[in-house]
């Protein structure tokens, strides 16, 4: 599953530089996650870095983007060119 940022976001911006896929960006009102780039840090880290650093715990899994670990791994390989 790709992750998402909820309305509880306080725009602290600590998550953005932690994303190895550059999937997090500043939206109109809060930070957002591009689901096409989010691999939940699969291929980079054991746990999603944005979730670990978020001070308000506002980054849950996105139920609209159900993806298996294998799918996330393939997405990582496509994004990094490591096929």
How many whole angstroms separate alpha carbon 50 and alpha carbon 20? 10
| Structural domains present in the chain | 16-80 (3.30.70.20)
How many whole angstroms separate alpha carbon 57 and alpha carbon 8? 8
The token duo for 70 is 């294998």
Q: Model-level pTM greater than 0.85?
A: yes
- Cα–Cα distances (Å) from 21 to 6, 7, 8, 55, 74, in that order, read 19, 22, 23, 21, 13
pLDDT tens-digit map of 41-72: 999 999 999 999 999 999 999 999 999 999 99
pLDDT tens-digit map of 33-49: 999 999 999 999 999 99
């Amino acid at each position: 599953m790709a992750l998402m940022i909820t309305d509880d976001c306080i725009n602290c911006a600590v998550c953005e530089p932690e994303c190895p896929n550059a999937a997090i960006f500043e939206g109109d009102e809060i930070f957002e996650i591009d689901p096409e780039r989010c691999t939940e840090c699969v291929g980079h880290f054991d746990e999603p870095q944005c979730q670990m650093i978020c001070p308000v715990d506002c980054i849950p899994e996105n139920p609209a983007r159900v993806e298996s670990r294998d799918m996330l791994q393939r997405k990582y390989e496509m994004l990094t060119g490591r096929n």
